[in-house]
Structure 1
Amino acid sequence: MKSQDVRKHFLDFFESKGHLIVPSAPIVLKDDPTLMFNNSGMAQFKEYFLGNATPKSNRIADTQKCLRVSGKHNDLEDVGFDTYHHTMFEMLGNWSFGNYFKKEAINWAWELLTEVYKIPKENLYVSVFEGSVEENVPFDQEAWDIWKGLIDEDRIILGNKKDNFWEMGDQGPCGPCSEIHVDLRNQVEKNAVSGKSLVNNDHPQVVEIWNNVFMEFNRKADGSLEKLPAKHVDTGMGFERLCMALQGKTSNYDTDVFTPLIEKLEQITEFKYVNNNVTSSAAEEKINIAMRVVVDHVRAVAFAIADGQLPSNTGAGYVIRRILRRAIRYGFTFLNTKEPFVHQLVAVLANQMGAFFPEIKSQQQLVTNVIREEEASFLRTLDQGLQLLDKVINDEKGKIVAGTKAFELYDTFGFPIDLTALILREKGLELDEAGFAVAMQEQKNRSRAASEVSTEDWSVLIPGSEETFVGYDKSENEVKITRIRKIDSKKDGILYQIVLDNTPFYPEGGGQVGDRGVLVSANETIEIIDTKKENNLILHFAKQLPENLNAKFIAKVDSDLLALTSSNHSATHLMHQALRSVLGTHVEQKGSLVNPKYLRFDFSHFAKLTEIELQHVEDFVNTRIQEQLPLIERRDIPFAQAVQEGAMALFGEKYGDSVRAIKFGESMELCGGIHVKNTADIWHFKIVSEGAVAAGIRRIEAITSDAVKAHFASYESTLNDVKLALKNPQDVLKAVHSIQEENIKLSKQIEALIKDKVKNLKVSLTTEIQEINSVRFLAKQVDLSPEGAKDLAYELGNLGDNLFLVLATVNTDVSGDKPMLTCYISKELVAEKNLNAGQVVRELGKFIQGGGGGQAFFATAGGKNLNGISEALEKAIEYVK
């Protein structure tokens, strides 16, 4: 059964059981601060399990793109070494929100697996929660009894809390679960060892394929459990493992989910992947591992980029970059790929999965470009790391390289530790792995301490209250507090999260920052320092709680900040329209930040914008501002209708069935943010910078309103200062041009004087050259610029062979006087005496508290200690003695 059919049969089956089929949420989460990525099928439904929202149907089924590379669920380091762990995977799931429970979930699971997919019953084992005395949760008798009616009792396994009690996190909904495992071994192996003994023991052919979670408890902050008001079903079946079982394979990588990618990788690298059923040598297994890493990781990276997460140095972007670099490194080390290659797999992936996940097809070119540029960048880093590692090796006196040095390469330059260890072994050296582990753990401890957060349970003041957002119509409103929660983080200290029955405060989202303001009662004022959304609750952050939580309050948004933010947000819509008009309709928004100070807008485009193009964009937006276009806002319109009418929907965003559309003239976008009532309120639009973010992604930063006024005032002030410095000329531009022309003339004169000085010094220094061990040697401080010292070195070098020359100069710039060393070594000395100018300046540079490098015959080093010049020149003679 082809993988596309496996997916279709699952969704068709549950649709026949009255389930609403919903699309996968983006792999990158943008509205859940507790998760970087969608790491399970239930992540997009958390708000329903928590009771903070009502689902459109109480029976839902889907296949969800998942990514497990950080936090509690982290499979990254397992990927490649076994045949069933993945970073990105699909989770097939069916859900009941207070509707059916164990009987239906278990019976349908059995029906689908054995009657639709026709997996032999004798290949299946199931597990049931054995109960927990410490949790005061009994043995799951109901599940046991249901399974007894479907499967032989000796195929039912009792599972402990670790294996058969599923939790969303340290707090939140949880409950016992019933797993289904499949035994894919051949008959000889089954006769020799019972599959029952191999369940949950990491056997590659006895694997869990489906987990049925029966959510009936809530885990509180103190660790205790309380009953949920309704019982829910949350199931997850690994799509890749299911395909392995249905296609008669013993490895996920032998299924048609991965074989097209592996075949393309074989073409690129000219290495062969040895099928898992064939015994492979140690060398072949290294190639197999590398290939599994690459084809797994390209899926994770490609779908993350398609959903809007670019590789970067922080947060989720850093995780994506790390995954990609792991793939590049395995290719570099084991598949001999010294040029970018991973991006060539994107076309195969798009053809393979584009029908069901259209985002990978529509974003194919962008994904390809970003990955190719990231590959090129990291290969340059690897090359730089190899040079730095060579220096570490050359500096090493013993046979063991310090773990701290290896960690510096890893932490600062991203140089993989296992590649460091491999190269050291080839050089006959060892790595202090314990020292590296200590340095790594110290960094993790620092990172963990910085991000550590403790969260108390919610104190519910008004049970059953439904929260309403009124910020589209009001900036202040009478409110009541419905629930509060205390959080304590190393970063921000103690804060309180306050939920209101209705609120004018906009929570951070869609690029727009959260509102600030105050809660005012008859007796006190509480400052709201930020507003965010979590699991469909709008959280107002405060440093203190009101004394009387039951009082009536007026919630007031800081209207001045909101006006500036609204101006910038509306300007992003107009700029998006302008970019598509000026550059072409290939332009798509790839990220934004809207705050009171400025706006930042990332978009897809292949080249740097010219000054003329930037001016056209500015003019386009300012024309729309001058036209005084009114805001046309449409709420609760069907998503399909809004798109059909021309509204732009952004890739990577999660839209509901009903959406809100914002329109200014011909600009129409789906948006949940706050906007000006008329484009005239923006006042003026000014671009302040444009640059690259990644391959095919550009970034514009711009300002509006008061910031533009301040910008123009600053320019006027600067112009007045320039006039004053030029003694108030009538024509400032003419005066500047005159100075530039005079500077060119003076520079030419100085250049001629330096050449004369070099010629004179060449004559005088020739007499100072000593001969030591058949080497012509000179170490001298000269009164020249660094460029003059270079010219002098070459002039002296042309006078004869076997010259070893070190010149010291003092370079003066705005930051002060700085010493510099220039080393020239005749090429015959480089060849015959094994002298190297780069190594010389690195050693001598230590005396001037600096460093440098260059070629074997010519190199320079800069420093900051003028007093070290004489000692550096004295030490130079030791190289030729």
Structure 2
Amino acid sequence: MKSQDIRNTFLNFFEEKKHSIVPSAPMVLKDDPTLMFVNSGMAPFKEFFLGNAQPKNNRLADTQKCLRVSGKHNDLEEVGYDTYHHTLFEMLGNWSFGDYFKKEAIAWAWELLTEKFEIDKDILYVTVFEGSNDDDKLPMDQEAYDFWKALIPEDRILMGNKKDNFWEMGDQGPCGPCSEIHVDIRSAEEKAKVDGKTLVNMDHPQVVEIWNLVFMQYNRKANGSLENLPDKHIDTGMGFERLCMVLQGVQSNYDTDVFTPIIREIETITDKDYGKNEKVDVAIRVISDHVRAVAFSIADGQLPSNTGAGYVIRRILRRAVRYGFTFLDKKEPFIYRLVDVLVNKMGKAFPELKEQRQLIENVIKEEENSFLRTLDQGLLLLDRIITHSNSKEISGNKVFELKDTYGFPEDLTDLILRENGFTYNHDQFNKKLKEQQERGKKASQLKSDDWTVLIDDEEQEFIGYDTLEAQVKITKYRKVTSKKDGEQYQLVFNITPFYAEGGGQVGDKGYLEDAHGDVVYIIDTKRENNVVIHFAKNLPKHINDTLKASVDTKQRYRTECNHTATHLLHQALREVLGTHVEQKGSAVHSKYLRFDFSHFSKLTVEELRDVESFVNRRIEGKLPLKEQRNIPMQKAIDEGAMALFGEKYGDTVRTVRFGQSIELCGGTHVKNTGDIWHFKIVSESAVAAGIRRIEAITSDAVKDFYFENNRAYFEMKDLLNNAKEPVKALQSLQDENTSLKKQVDTLLKEKAKSIKGDLKSELSEVNGVKFLAKKLDLDAAGIKDVCFELGSQFDDLFLLFGAEHNGKAILSCYISKELVASKDLNAGTIVRELGKYIQGGGGGQPFFATAGGKHPNGIDEALNVAIDYIK
């Protein structure tokens, strides 16, 4: 059975059982602060499990794209080395929200596996929660055991501990016991030697879990205790790739038709054969897995970057590149060439791959080129370290620096060192890595109390499209604490005029006021699992009273101007550049707007002017807002509304129209484009391959922009003695300045040359290093020239020069690259440490760095201690 047929059989089976089949949600989560990516099939349905929303049908089924590469569930390092772990995988799932429970979930799972898919009952095992004797004191799941006993011999029902058979959403929230279904696909000879039940949950590659049936019946509170949920739910997840392995009669997920087309293409591109060399096989598995994760992430709106979810995607892609670089001898981009095969294989089930094919290819190719340049630089540095090392063990600090500063992966460093008969100090490296991880963990750590419920009101209404003030009641609140924000309170109202951050638009700010005049400021508004949450530094004194909630009208107005302008900008770009332009992200603040879009080249001055003019004509046209709320999604699309990149939409949507611009949007907007006053582009730049970014301002910010420019103009005229043609006068000054600067540069170079001869004679030898620390009468550029001139003549040079320029202190440190490698010296670290003497700081590269400060009198002291670094 082919993978497409397996997927369809699953969905059709549950459709017959009166389940609604829903499409996969985007992998990148936007309204759940506890998760970076969807890592399980249930994640998109958390709002239903928490009771914050009601599904149209209490029975749902789907295949959900999942990514497990961060946080608690992280399979990244296993990928490629075994046959069944993946970064991206499909989770087939069926769900019941307060409808059927254990009996039906178990019976239907068994029916689908053994009757529809015709899996031999004799190769299946099931596990049941055995209970626990810890603080929870949970009983054995006798109910599930009895249901299974009617379907399968008791010797195939195994008891599972809390780790394997009690599923929790997180530290808090819905949870419950689960039953796992495992399959034993070993040969008859292997089964005769070892009983399969002894291999369940033992990470055996041919005795694997394929389906987990979770029985949600408890709620985990902040203090760790459990309480019964008001409704019981079913949450199941079956690994699609593992199911394909079983049904296609192969011993590895990578031997299924989910992966074989990609593997064949890798073989063709690299001229390597899969199945003949273990290291090559691991590399091919890594690449075939990782290209799926990266492609789907880009298709769902997450581009590689240096922070957050984008950094995770960049890390996955770079892991694939380095395996190709090391084991497949690919020193040029090639992973982007696999996208075609992936789209042909999975584009029918996931049309977003087809729609974003060109973008995916462009981004992957650019990322490959960038990382290959990083690898080249790292290889040079590593070669110097090896060449100048006096020991066969390299410092772990150097290996960490290669990783942290230059992005050179430690496993590749380890491989190259071992190939050259070297090793490195793993303890030092791990200590540095742990320190870095702890810093990141502390910075992001969040502790939250249980919700204190004041009013049992599950329905919350947003009224902020129509009013910015309301009389509200607080229905529940909780305290949250983090290192970044300190102690805050999260408040939920029965109705709210506050817009929660979403769709690129910032959350509202404002205040609550009671009848006594006491005020609590709302500092942010966010949405979490379909609930609008208001952040405050303290609680209202009269928390049970009816309170007046007021949105900051000035911030809301400015934000609305910018949001409406993004819609007009989108329309303008498609009109001026072409209909290939698609929105790829946006940020709408009160002070500015940012708009990312697909386009292949930098915009010309004429194109930017045309875009600006297009938007401002629509502003001058005073186009009224025409919105439709809660209309069917398909009707909105049929009317021409544009669905935005990476957004998750429900069955009903809101459309926002200004003239010919019509988009699906939940954000807030001005009532008329004339309210925007004016639109001004302030920058245009590249974000990634094929992605451009425009930053712009509107309304009051434009007025401030023109006011500042006007003021600067008259100040310039005044400095030019009120010249009638200030541009010409300024050009004349620039020409004169350029001529004088050339003369000064020539004199300074001559001065530096004459100084260089003197400095050579002042070099002293300390511990085999040519050393000099001295104060010079040169500017920073002149000092740098001297450093590199001397550096070109010596390969064992340590220089520290100080200078005073315009009342400021300068320190410049130069260290021969050979010394950087052999003596574990770093100019950047040294100038940062010496910067304290001049009350400043700085940094740079390991071989050359500078620091600036406001205390020139400290230069001599810094020069005096420099020798300590090489003694």
TM-score relative to the length of structure 1: 0.88
Q: Which residue is equivalent to 2:677?
A: 683
Q: Which residue is equivalent to 2:207?
A: 206
Take 2:320 and 2:353, find their aligned partners in 1: how far apart are those partners? Answer: 19
1:488-503 → structure 2 map (5 Å cutoff):
488-503=481-496
Q: Which residue is equivalent to 2:766?
A: none
Q: Which amino acid is the alignment partner of residue 328 of structure 1? A: V
Q: Deviation of residue 742 (structure 1)?
A: 2.8
In 2 relative to 1, CA 431–684 (structure 1 residues): closer, same or farther, beyond 3 Å?
A: same
Q: 2:445 aligns with which of 437, 441, 452?
A: 452
Q: CA RMSD in A?
A: 3.9
Q: Which amino acid is the alignment partner of residue 511 of structure 2? A: V
State which drifts further: 325-334 or 237-246: 325-334
Take 1:845 and 1:248, find their aligned partners in 2: how far apart are those partners? Answer: 58
Q: Which residue is equivalent to 1:66?
A: 66
State which drifts further: 736-745 or 662-671: 736-745
1:306 corresponds to 2:299: yes
Take 1:44 and 1:460, find their aligned partners in 2: how far apart are those partners? Answer: 25
Q: Which residue is equivalent to 2:397?
A: 404
Q: Deviation of residue 317 (structure 1)?
A: 0.8
Q: Which amino acid is the alignment partner of residue 563 of structure 1? A: Y
1:722 corresponds to 2:723: no
Take 1:220 and 1:337, find their aligned partners in 2: how far apart are those partners? Answer: 51
Q: Which residue is equivalent to 2:257?
A: 256
Q: Which residue is equivalent to 2:271?
A: 270
Q: Which residue is equivalent to 1:487?
A: 480
Q: SS of the residue aligned with 2:491?
A: strand
Q: Which residue is equivalent to 1:34?
A: 34
Deviations 1:462-515 (A, max 9, x none): 114411110111101111111111111121111111111100000010001111
Runs of 5+ in structure 2 lacking a partner?
762-769, 835-841, 853-857
1:531-610 → structure 2 map (5 Å cutoff):
531-610=525-604
1:513 corresponds to 2:488: no
* Bigger radius of gyration among the two: 1
Q: SS of the residue aligned with 2:479?
A: strand
In 2 relative to 1, CA 318–749 (structure 1 residues): closer, same or farther, beyond 3 Å?
A: closer
Take 1:466 and 1:846, find their aligned partners in 2: how far apart are those partners? Answer: 56
Q: Which residue is equivalent to 2:169?
A: 168
Deviations 1:593-634 (A, max 9, x none): 111111111111111111111111111111100000000011
Q: Deviation of residue 19 (structure 1)?
A: 0.5
1:53-202 → structure 2 map (5 Å cutoff):
53-134=53-134, 135-202=136-203
Q: Which amino acid is the alignment partner of residue 204 of structure 2? A: H
Mapped contact 1:785–1:810 kept (Cα < 8 A): no
Q: Deviation of residue 548 (structure 1)?
A: 2.3
Q: SS of the residue aligned with 1:668?
A: strand
Q: SS of the residue aligned with 2:478?
A: strand
Take 1:668 and 1:489, find their aligned partners in 2: how far apart are those partners? Answer: 40
Q: Which residue is equivalent to 2:658?
A: 664
Take 1:187 and 1:458, find their aligned partners in 2: how far apart are those partners? Answer: 55
Q: Which amino acid is the alignment partner of residue 551 of structure 1? A: D
Q: 1:673 aligns with which of 643, 664, 667?
A: 667
Take 1:805 and 1:123, find their aligned partners in 2: how far apart are those partners? Answer: 70
Q: Deviation of residue 756 (structure 1)?
A: 9.6
Take 1:640 and 1:681, find their aligned partners in 2: how far apart are those partners? Answer: 31
Q: 1:333 aligns with which of 307, 326, 348?
A: 326
Q: 1:473 aligns with which of 445, 462, 466?
A: 466
In 2 relative to 1, CA 646–213 (structure 1 residues): closer, same or farther, beyond 3 Å?
A: same
Q: Which residue is equivalent to 1:287?
A: 280
Q: Which residue is equivalent to 2:686?
A: 692
Q: Which residue is equivalent to 1:382?
A: 375
Q: 1:527 aligns with which of 503, 521, 527?
A: 521
Mapped contact 1:503–1:555 kept (Cα < 8 A): yes
Take 1:789 and 1:451, find their aligned partners in 2: how far apart are those partners? Answer: 42
Q: SS of the residue aligned with 1:287?
A: helix
Q: Deviation of residue 200 (structure 1)?
A: 0.4
In 2 relative to 1, CA 120–324 (structure 1 residues): closer, same or farther, beyond 3 Å?
A: same
Q: Which amino acid is the alignment partner of residue 624 of structure 1? A: R
Q: Deviation of residue 459 (structure 1)?
A: 1.3
In 2 relative to 1, CA 608–868 (structure 1 residues): closer, same or farther, beyond 3 Å?
A: farther
In 2 relative to 1, CA 344–812 (structure 1 residues): closer, same or farther, beyond 3 Å?
A: farther
Take 2:819 and 2:437, find their aligned partners in 1: how far apart are those partners? Answer: 40
Take 2:64 and 2:829, find their aligned partners in 1: how far apart are those partners? Answer: 57
Q: Which amino acid is the alignment partner of residue 553 of structure 1? A: L
Q: SS of the residue aligned with 2:212?
A: strand
State which drifts further: 811-820 or 544-553: 811-820
Q: Deviation of residue 401 (structure 1)?
A: 1.6
Runs of 5+ in structure 1 lacking a partner?
275-279, 769-776, 825-833, 875-881
Q: SS of the residue aligned with 1:158?
A: strand
Q: 2:731 aligns with which of 728, 734, 737?
A: 737
Q: Deviation of residue 823 (structure 1)?
A: 13
State which drifts further: 805-814 or 140-149: 805-814
In 2 relative to 1, CA 3–619 (structure 1 residues): closer, same or farther, beyond 3 Å?
A: same
Q: Which amino acid is the alignment partner of residue 130 of structure 2? A: E
In 2 relative to 1, CA 353–364 (structure 1 residues): closer, same or farther, beyond 3 Å?
A: same
Q: SS of the residue aligned with 1:179?
A: strand
In 2 relative to 1, CA 12–782 (structure 1 residues): closer, same or farther, beyond 3 Å?
A: closer
Q: Deviation of residue 787 (structure 1)?
A: 9.8
In 2 relative to 1, CA 815–616 (structure 1 residues): closer, same or farther, beyond 3 Å?
A: farther
Mapped contact 1:512–1:593 kept (Cα < 8 A): yes
Mapped contact 2:619–2:678 kept (Cα < 8 A): yes
Mapped contact 1:452–1:490 kept (Cα < 8 A): yes
Q: Deviation of residue 94 (structure 1)?
A: 0.4
Q: Deviation of residue 388 (structure 1)?
A: 2.6
Q: 1:463 aligns with which of 456, 473, 487?
A: 456
State which drifts further: 404-413 or 93-102: 404-413
Q: Which amino acid is the alignment partner of residue 541 of structure 2? A: E
Take 1:756 and 1:153, find their aligned partners in 2: how far apart are those partners? Answer: 93
Q: Deviation of residue 342 (structure 1)?
A: 1.3
Q: Deviation of residue 429 (structure 1)?
A: 2.4
State which drifts further: 136-145 or 584-593: 136-145
Q: Which amino acid is the alignment partner of residue 21 of structure 1? A: I
Q: Deviation of residue 391 (structure 1)?
A: 3.8
Q: Deviation of residue 868 (structure 1)?
A: 12
Mapped contact 1:61–1:94 kept (Cα < 8 A): yes
In 2 relative to 1, CA 835–100 (structure 1 residues): closer, same or farther, beyond 3 Å?
A: closer
Q: Deviation of residue 851 (structure 1)?
A: 11
1:813-824 → structure 2 map (5 Å cutoff):
none
TM-score relative to the length of structure 2: 0.89
Q: Which amino acid is the alignment partner of residue 672 of structure 1? A: G
Q: Which amino acid is the alignment partner of residue 476 of structure 2? A: R
Q: Which amino acid is the alignment partner of residue 252 of structure 1? A: N
1:356 corresponds to 2:357: no
Q: 1:712 aligns with which of 706, 711, 717?
A: 706
Q: Deviation of residue 816 (structure 1)?
A: 6.4
Deviations 1:77-118 (A, max 9, x none): 111111100110000000111111111111111111111111
Aligned length: 847
In 2 relative to 1, CA 345–735 (structure 1 residues): closer, same or farther, beyond 3 Å?
A: same
Mapped contact 2:66–2:91 kept (Cα < 8 A): yes
Mapped contact 1:495–1:543 kept (Cα < 8 A): yes
Q: Which amino acid is the alignment partner of residue 191 of structure 1? A: A
Q: Which residue is equivalent to 1:827?
A: none
In 2 relative to 1, CA 805–364 (structure 1 residues): closer, same or farther, beyond 3 Å?
A: closer
Q: Which amino acid is the alignment partner of residue 391 of structure 2? A: G
Mapped contact 1:130–1:159 kept (Cα < 8 A): yes
Take 2:64 and 2:234, find their aligned partners in 1: how far apart are those partners? Answer: 16
Take 1:447 and 1:787, find their aligned partners in 2: how far apart are those partners? Answer: 37
Take 1:793 and 1:454, find their aligned partners in 2: how far apart are those partners? Answer: 51
Q: Deviation of residue 754 (structure 1)?
A: 8.6
Q: Which amino acid is the alignment partner of residue 141 of structure 2? A: D
Q: Which residue is equivalent to 1:319?
A: 312
Q: SS of the residue aligned with 2:648?
A: coil
Q: Deviation of residue 821 (structure 1)?
A: 10
Q: Which amino acid is the alignment partner of residue 389 of structure 1? A: L
Q: Deviation of residue 546 (structure 1)?
A: 1.5
In 2 relative to 1, CA 794–502 (structure 1 residues): closer, same or farther, beyond 3 Å?
A: closer
